[in-house]
Every structure is written in C-alpha cells, then in structure tokens.
Chains A and B, each alone.
Chain A
Amino acid sequence: MAAYIARRLLLGLVVIWGLTVVTFAIARVAPGDPAARWVGPHATAEQIAQARVELGLDKPLYVQYARYLGQLLHGDLGVSIRTHQPVAADIRTFLPASLELTVAGMALAVILGIPLGVAAAARSGRWLDHLTRLTSIGGVSMPTFWLAMILQLVFFKQLHLLPLSGRIDTMTPLLHPVQPITGSFLLDGLLEGNWPVFKDALAHLILPAVTLAAYPLGLIVRMLRSSMIETLGEDYVRAARAAGFKERVVVYRYALKNAIAPTLTVMALTFAYSLTGTFLIESVFDWPGLGNYAAEAVITNDYPAIMGVTIVVAVMYVALNLLVDVVQALLDPRIRTGVAS
C-alpha cells in the first residue's frame, strides 16, 4: 500500500516537473520577443536590450529554464504586466472567489447528478432515461458563456428574480457589516448569523453556480449511467434481488458503491476543469475571481499572469487526480495490488 502511494506520488512529481517544462516552452517558443512584450509597445531599442538582460533572456535556454524553475519553487510567478503586482499575490487574491463558485457549482452537479444517473440506469431505455440523456448531452454541448447570458436574460431581465452580476450588492456589507473569517460572504454571513449578507450572497451565487454546474452535471450523469447499467447486470446484484432485498437497497447500497468509482475520478477532474471553466463565465457575471483575472490577462497579453494561472491550475488538476487515485486505492484493494485489468 505504502509502496503504491509512494510510486504514485513520485509519478505525480514527475508530471508536475513536466508541466513546468511545457509552460516554459509555451512562453519561450511563442513568436515575438518576450523582452519587447515586457516593456510594452512604445519602448526604445535600449529599453528592450536592458529588459533582455534584466529578464535573463541573454542567457542560454537551459539557464533561463533553471532560473524559471528556481523562481517557481520559491513561489515566484513573476510580475503581472497589467496589474504590476506579483502574479502569485494576484492569484491568492482572486482564487478564493473562484473556489467558492467552483465548489458551489460542483456541489450542485453532484447532488443532482448522482440520483439522475442512478435513476436513468435503473429505468434504462424508458422515457426518464431518454430525458436524462438529452439533458446530459445538452449540458456538455452548451457553450457555458452563452448559457450564462441566457440565464441573465430570463432571471434578471424578464423575471426580476435574481441579481445580474457581482458577488454581493455594494450596499449590503455597508449596512450589515461582516467580519471576514473565510473570505466568502456566503460562509461568513452564515457563521455570523448575518442573514441579509447570507441571503444577498446566495442570490448572487445562484446563476453563476448553475451555469458552472451544467457541464460537470452532464458528465456525471453520463458516466454514472453507463457504469450503473454495467453493475446492475452483474451476478451479485441478481443474487441480492433474488434474496428479496428492496430495489432501493439493491441499487443504492450494493450497486452504487461499486459503480461510483469511475464517476469519482470524473468528479475530481471536472472540479479542476471547472476552474478553467470560470475563465468563460466569471467575466459575464463580473465575478471577482481567477477566471476573470485570466480572461483579462489573455486579452491584454499579460504573459506572466497567463503562465502563472496555467501552472497553478494545472498543478491543482494533477494534485486532485493524485488524491483520487490514492483514495480509490485505499477503498479498493484490487487497484493497489493490480488485480483489476
């Protein structure tokens, strides 16, 4: 067991090292002089030459890479061209809002997705199954940024039910002061019993979270449906039914436990994927998170910020993948001993 985890961790470290090579390559292979990009479009030739020395671009590539890696290990992601702040500090500022949104969206997707996937598999081929499949294909086929605007049109413009954008009304925290504990208005409002803040934050969170949930929801339902159909056809399930267990017990207690493993992997991966998904919807909802920051960075050619966000999100993706592998090995002895195919 320990050997399996150690091997998996080592492999994860190798992959993360690989990520730094790829990110470095993208930044260096891209056409255009990084020094010229650094000093901006109106710089003189001397300024560009000076920037080249300052950035170490006059050194050979492997020296540049070593320097880049050294900075990364010290948590130094460079300085943003647009905000003139260290990229690492920017990411620390903007990540919590994105995490709040991503957690809310994923929670929604899981809470809806598991019963839907199970129900579709249990009634495979019937109308509920067809409806569920259509919904899940819709979820993975819809451009999220478009869904965001359609929801705004319906729930803000037409029905006047929910706020258009932002994380909270500017006035709410002024009228009902809230002590920052977690940095999330929703949680802080809840912890302090500050209901006006909680309600306002929740109202602002609903539309972005629903938008973000659409894609993972579709994936979870699809994965769970197909693995549940497979599991429900197994002999032990037939045996459980023959023994007279209630259908609900057979499906949820016996079959789901074995069928959920591939879906767990998908959930972890879509969590990290959804962090990238925020690139597309945070700007629509004016949500002050990492996605909004990244969208601004790509459009303004703020390449230290682009590279910083890329490496941070990619490392989170790999780390989550690793975590799921380890958890599944703990739960399922077949994985760690390599008995399963």
Chain B
Amino acid sequence: MSSTAKAASPAPGPRALPAAARRAEGLRLLLRNPLAAVGGVTVLLLALLALFAPVLAPAPGDAFSAVHPAQQLLPPGPGHPFGTDELGRDLFTRVLYGARISLAAGAVAIAAALAIGVPLGAVAGYAGGFWDELIMRFTDVVLSFPSLLLATAIAAMLGHSLTNAVAAIALSWWPWYTRIVRAQVVSLRERPFVEAARALGVPGWRIVFEHLVPNALAPVIVQASLDFGSVILTLAALSFLGIGAQPPQPEWGLLINTGRNFFLTNWWYVTFPGLAIFLTVAAFNLLGDGLREILDPRTRGRV
C-alpha cells in the first residue's frame, strides 16, 4: 500500500500530484489516523452486513411478522445470539435487517435534503440580490429551529410512517447544504470560465446547473457524508417516539420503543438494538472527523 503511494507521488506537495495519487495520499492519511480508520472499516462492515442480511440472518422469516409462542423472550444463547422478542422472533435477525432500514433511510434522507438544498443555494449564489436575500433569510429561519424539534413537529403532522419521518428529516436538513453551495457559487461566479460561458450567451440556468453546481459539489458531498451519523440517530429518535417506522418494521429505534415494556426483566431486548445504533453512528462520526482533518489543511499536520 505505502510503496504504491510512494511510487505514484514522486514530487512532494499536493498541487503537483495527479488525481489518482492524491486519492492514494488521502487514503494513506486516513489509514494513518487510527480512529478514522476504525470508523471507515466499521462502516464498510456494516454496509456488508446490511447487504447480506438475508444470507447471514439465522431466521430471515423473523425480520418482519412472525410469531413463535414457544420461544418468547429467550435470553441470548445458542441459536439466538441476541435473544428473542415478545413474539419469539430472533432479535439478531431483526437487528441485522434494521441495518438495512437505517442505512437506506439515512441515504434517502440525505439525498432528498441535497435535492432541495443544492439548487436553492446555487440559485441564491448566482442570482444574488432579491432572490439571494429571500432564500437565505428563509434558510436562517429554518436553521433557527433545533433540528430534532423541527423534524419531530413535521413528522408528527405528516402522519406516522417511515417515509414521512425520512421526509421530515430531509425538510429540516436542507438549509445546511444551501449555505455551503451558495458560498461556493459566490466564489466561483466571477471566474473566467463562467464569464466565458456568459459571453457565449449560455442561458443562466445552464450556467448554474452545468458549470457552477458540478464545481461546487465536492464540499457538499463531504458534509453530507459527515451528516450520515446524525441522520441515522434522528431517525432512530423519531421511531422511538412512535412517529417513525411502524411495526412490524425492525427499525432500531422502534425495537427499543417496543423493548422498553420488557427491558427491566429482559435486558437484551433494548441493549442490542441500542448498541447497533451506537456503533453505526460512532463509526460514521469517527470517519467524518478523520475526513474533516484530512481535508482541512490547517489540521492536516496535527492528526
């Protein structure tokens, strides 16, 4: 690994490096930051577990609706590594399938927030003046709600379902991306390539979406990946409140919500789904911290 990185980067200094070598350099920095590396590997592992849940789960039939009266609330043991729930379903299977819900829902929520936030930020930055003021003041207002509060209020009013909870998260999350894109677009607006496009008579909307947005996207993508952990945590919180995923979905927050009726006598019921949330969110946060340090030249040397 390190030998290939060395061979590909004969000249020091990030500017001199070709793109492939820069990526290798980034990867090397990521691996040298032990906490970030642990986060990255854990995220990869979780994605694989989620992907292969149907193969790995001991009882795939237990993921959603199933009743096994003979094996209700069994403690962890052979056959049921995480124990069973009040209907006798294998908890390990359910937590494994929960990973699919959390990762997929998190990705959809962030994609939706990007779909709202990026165009708004691009328009505000490029148009300036009245539209800029209007969009950015509205952004300020949305950001002046604590994010969990706004997501809770929207999810409660939309009606209780996983889809609506994801929509509520996206609706309370987009302003962050609007701000970043606007700042990027403002700094790109006067660059020669944009001026050239304008001189050639390219219409404004094409300048924004074909020239400015692709160039403004990198920091937004980074921020979006950093937000993954918080989004998963928010989704679990909404499900715990009963306004996110609904039974029989094996969403982690919902498992804890159901498990709280039994947890004092059956410790495993809330413990394992909670550990799953904790590990996932911590892994994303560790990875995000590492990414931030690598991308910020001020802290790069201090990792």
A binds B: yes
Closest to A146 in B: B274
Residue B126 CB within 8 A of the other chain: no
A141 touches B157 (CB 8 A): no
Instruction: Establish whether residues A133 and B35, one from each chain, have CB atoms under 8 Å apart when the complex forms.
Output: yes
Which one, A23, A134, A141, A157, contacts B233 given CB within 8 A? A141
Query: CB distance B270 to A276 under 8 Å?
Result: no
Interface string of A267-308 (1 = CB under 8 A from B): 001001101110110001000000000110111010100110
Contact A310/B137 with A19-B145, A141-B229, A143-B278 known, Cβ cut-off 8 Å: no
| A26 pairs with B157, CB closer than 8 A | yes
Residues of A within 8 A of B278 (CB): 138, 141-143, 146
* Residues A277 and B148 in contact, CB atoms below 8 Å apart: yes
Q: Which residues of B contact A295 (CB under 8 A)?
A: 241
Interface string of A130-168 (1 = CB under 8 A from B): 100110011011110111011011001100000010000
A317 touches B (CB below 8 Å)? yes
Q: Name the interface size band of chain A.
A: 35 or more
CA distance in complex: A310, B274 (Å): 27
Q: Which one of B146, B152, B229 has the highest number of Cβ atoms from chain A below 10 Å of its Cβ?
A: B146
A41 within 8 A of partner (CB): no
Q: Please tell me if B154 contacts chain A, counting CB pairs below 8 Å.
A: yes
Cβ of B152 and Cβ of A307 under 8 Å apart?
A: no
Is A32 in the interface zone, CB < 8 Å from B? Answer: yes
B302–A229 touching, CB < 8 Å: yes
Asked if A22 and B146 make an inter-chain contact with CB atoms under 8 angstroms apart, the answer reads: no
How far apart are the CA atoms of A275 and B149 in the complex, in Å?
Answer: 9
Residues of the A chain whose Cβ atoms lie less than 8 Å from the Cβ of B233: 141, 143
Q: Which of A19, A125, A147, A276 contacts B148 (CB 8 A)?
A: A276
Decide: B282 and A125 in contact? CB cutoff 8 A.
no
A314, B302: Cα distance in complex, Å: 38
Please state if A149 and B270 are interface contacts (CB–CB under 8 Å): yes
| A284 to B257 alpha-carbon distance, docked (Å) | 10
What total count of A-B pairs have CB within 8 Å?
A: 144
CB distance from A314 to the nearest CB of B (A): 5
- A273 and B146 within 8 A (CB): yes
Whole-angstrom CA separation of A96 from B243 in the bound complex: 26
Query: Which listed residue (A27, A137, A150, A317) contacts B157, Cβ 8 A?
Result: A27
Determine whether the beta carbon of A30 is less than 8 Å from that of B149. no
Residues of B within 8 A of A125 (CB): 302
Bound-state Cα–Cα, A318 to B146, Å: 9
CA–CA, A164 and B263, complex, Å: 12
Q: Which residues of B contact A152 (CB under 8 A)?
A: 263-264
A193 to B142, CA, bound (A): 46
Contacts of A107 in B (CB 8 A): none
A297 to B155, CA, bound (A): 12
A18 close to B (CB within 8 Å): yes
CB of B118, distance to nearest CB on chain A (Å):
21
CB neighbours (8 Å) of B271 from chain A are 150, 153
5 A-B pairs closest in CB distance: A18-B141, A146-B274, A30-B157, A141-B282, A298-B156
* Apart from A141-B233, A146-B278, A279-B241, 20 more pairs, CB < 8 Å: A15-B144, A21-B141, A22-B150, A138-B282, A143-B233, A143-B253, A149-B256, A149-B263, A152-B264, A269-B146, A272-B146, A276-B146, A279-B152, A280-B237, A299-B242, A299-B243, A306-B152, A310-B153, A314-B146, A314-B149
30 contacts between A and B (CB under 8 A): A15-B140, A18-B144, A19-B144, A22-B145, A22-B150, A125-B302, A141-B229, A141-B281, A142-B278, A143-B256, A143-B274, A145-B240, A149-B256, A153-B267, A157-B267, A269-B146, A273-B148, A275-B146, A277-B148, A280-B240, A284-B260, A298-B155, A298-B156, A298-B241, A299-B241, A299-B243, A310-B149, A314-B145, A314-B150, A317-B144
